[in-house]
Amino acid sequence: MNEKLSLTELQLIIRDSLYLALPDMYWVIAEISEIKENFAGHCYLELIEKHPEEKNVRARAKAIIWNNRYRFLKSFFENITGESLKEGLKILVKTKVEYHEVYGLSLVITDIDPAFTIGEMALKRQMIIKKLEQEGVFSMNKEIDFPFVPQRIAVISSKNAAGYSDFINQLTGNSYGYVFYTALIETIMQGPETEHSVISALDKIADYSGLFDLVVIIRGGGSQTDLSWFDSYNIAYHVTQFPLPVLTGIGHDKDMSVTDMVSNRSLKTPTAVADFLIDCVAEAENNIMELSSQIVDGSRKIAEKNRNRIEESRIRLIPLSRVMISGIKDNLTVKIIEMINTAKEYIIRSGLKPANLESKLISAF
């Protein structure tokens, strides 16, 4: 075939051929690798398929959801799944293949099946949980002894998050007047950088673990759809290996992330974490006061018991001492008489008269 075609003509032939070969809509399973919404409200995605074992990309395609469909599909998907459309999410979408002479091949998404994504998310969570259990690390952080008085706290959060402010205000405004020492490690708490940022924060705290009693990971003020960033094997594994107890306040009433599941304690909100710590210190104070009272009462009982013993000993010693004194006196009298008799004999031998020496000496005693 010697016919010469312009590039545009060739592209049009490709377009028409695709329309003839692929005239229908197709349900396609793919993973979102990139997603962005432009100023006009259109959503542009890059879809990929990875090799199940090697993690290598085996297929890639551009996709678009026009704004008139995107508004509906976005709201529909989030309401059903509790998740936003984001990188790393596996989806089942209804697409039509289109080809443009300038922009090339793309898939136009017209519908999405949330049930598929829910199943994939649940499967992913279960696989992470199973892997942690098989490695024997799932409960390791729960087994760490909780500090008696938890006052030195490393905080993993974003300083601009409403949840962080709630946590600090609740701690500092406690009605008991307890003092807590907190150190914030600024962390990204939503989006693709969450995993790397949280792990980096844990590593920093681990280098100074002797300065802290525990770690809290708190997230507040964000969307519930951001919770799945904490369904991360790498974050969960780092928590299980951490040398200090880790408390989380990143969950919701209905859902718990894998990070929540492996932490030493999981509470619903940052405020709930603060209340828990305040209650721990209050309980420690009550235990100390009770122990102090027991020590005082015990000391009084011991002192009273010893006082009674001393009094009993005194009472027993009085008659005994009288008997001892009487015996000593009798022995002394006998000795004196013996001395007098000896003196009398000496005086008689000397030709002297003893007079009334004996009676005088005896009467002296």
Question: What pLDDT digit, counting tens, does each position of 58-117 carry?
Answer: 999 999 999 999 999 999 998 888 788 988 889 999 999 999 888 889 999 999 999 998
pLDDT class of 360 with cuts at 50, 70, 90: low
Cα dihedral value 257, 55, 59, 227, nearest 10 = 10
Query: Span 18-25, mean pLDDT?
Result: 87
Residue 311: pLDDT above 90?
no
289 vs 275, more confident: 275
pLDDT above 80 (res 140): yes
Of the candidates 235, 185, 230, the one whose C-alpha atom is nearest the C-alpha of residue 207 is: 185
- In angstroms, how far is the first alpha carbon of the chain from the final one? 159
CATH 3.90.120.10 fits 141-283, yes or no: no
Instruction: Spell out the CATH class of 7-134.
Output: mainly beta
Domain ranges, ordered by start, for the chain: 7-134, 141-283
> What pLDDT is stored for residue 304 in this prediction?
74
Q: Return the ∠ at Cα 104 (arms to 101 and 106), rounded to 5°.
A: 130
Query: Beta strand 152-157 with 214-218: parallel, antiparallel or unpaired?
Result: parallel
Tell me which residue of 73, 135, 140 sits closest to 108, measured CA to CA.
73
Confidence of residue 132 (pLDDT cuts 50, 70, 90): very high
Residue-wise DSSP of 230-299: G--HHHHHHHHT-SS-EEEE---SS---HHHHHSSEE-SSHHHHHHHHHHHHHHHHHHHHHHHHHHHHHH
* 306-310: average pLDDT: 74
Q: Mind spelling out the 3-state secondary structure of 319-357? A: HHHHHHHHHHHHHHHHHHHHHHHHHHHHHHHHCCCCCCH
**Phi, psi angles (nearest 5°) of residue 14:** -60, -45
Q: Contact at 8 Å (CB) between 99 and 60? A: no
Q: What was the pLDDT predicted at 169?
A: 94
pLDDT at 350: 62
What digits encode the pLDDT tens for the residues 224-282?
Answer: 566 788 999 999 999 999 999 999 998 665 668 899 999 999 998 999 999 999 999 99
Identical fold at 7-134 and 141-283?
no
Predicted structure pTM score = 0.70
pLDDT, tens only, 31-55: 999 999 999 999 999 999 987 776 7
pLDDT surpasses 70 at 354: no
Sheet of 152-157: strand order equals 181-186, 152-157, 214-218, 246-249, 265-266
